[in-house]
Amino acid sequence: MLPTEAFSLPKGTPTHILEVLADAYAKALEDESIRSRIENEFGSVVHFLPTDEYQLFLDENEAALTRAAENIDF
């Protein structure tokens, strides 16, 4: 599992607005100087996922954590 950071918008935000923002983030992260600053100054790993792939990542992560939690004896 990777650490994750994301931007969020109010529920019901129109899809076209979400797509514009996601495209802008993807385009910005193509710039090596921006990627370098994020990685070197802020210590984050840049790994952009489009909206649908990020949702799949979250769903899989939640399922894995749920399975792990079921095996913990309290």
Whether 13 shows a pLDDT value over 60: the answer reads yes
- Name the region of 12 (left: φ>0; alpha: ψ -120 to 50; beta: rest): left
Number of residues written out for the chain: 74
25 contact partners, CB below 8 Å, separation of at least 6:
7, 48
Which pTM value belongs to this model?
0.66
Q: What is the pLDDT of residue 51?
A: 84
Q: How far apart are CA 27 and CA 62, in angstroms?
A: 28
Q: How far apart are CA 46 and CA 38, in angstroms?
A: 7
Per-residue pLDDT tens digits for 36-62: 999 999 888 888 888 889 889 999 999
